[in-house]
Amino acid sequence: METDNAATGERFSPEVLGFVQLAIDQAKLALDSLEVPVGCVIVEDGNVIAAGRNRTNETRNATRHAEMEALDVLLVQWQRSGFSAAEVAEKFSVCSFYVTCEPCIMCAAALSIIGVKEVYYGCANDKFGGCGSILSLNSSSSEACISSKASQVMGYSGFSLDMHALVLPVKPCHGFAQLNLLKGPERRSSILVQMSFCWDGHVFTEDCSYNHKFISWFNLIIR
């Protein structure tokens, strides 16, 4: 039995909704840990290969969003399996991401750069959304590409989702990402970094404290 999204005409299979439920389960774990309840699972060939939840409060690191956590789990697995950079890029192109909330600008840009196959997400992110709410980093255009008239698809014990399916480009669009190390004292395992995104002629810059693990990961995906 498929579930309809009346606003968009999209239909979601039980398999898709099952993966959504797994992402919600991760979000519940985040909530239990006093985090913003966002969860993510990564699927390849119908199998969940990684999962993550928001851990920004736990780690005191603003970059540890659910998508980044799941990506780190996956990259460790692939590194242990001895995959080359080319093989990793090819594998990303067949991976689907299921997230309970629209990826933020940082996460949406990262997913676009690494060229994932598609992203399913639930509620819109009207403050930091990178898939249409604020910026449309899943598109070569800076215009919003997501309908704001989303219909409720399914409720899960207090959670409700407005489902959309997005296809992110495999190859880079009209933009680039750059990380610049800034002068300043190190804070434990973190360093101060300036992240800049140029998209269709618009430059967005943010100064944040990132850990070394993220810097290594980001350098890997933009090579």
**What does the alpha-carbon distance between residue 212 and residue 220 come to, in Å, rounded to a whole number?**
12
Neighbouring C-alpha atoms within 13 Å toward the C-beta of 100: 26
**What does the alpha-carbon distance between residue 41 and residue 43 come to, in Å, rounded to a whole number?**
7
DSSP string, 137-169: TTSSSSS--S-S-PPP-EEETTEEE--EEE---
Is 67 annotated in the active site?
A: yes
CA-nearest of 166, 92, 162 to 132 is 166
Q: Which of 67, 90, 118, 143 is catalytic?
A: 67
Catalytic residues: 67
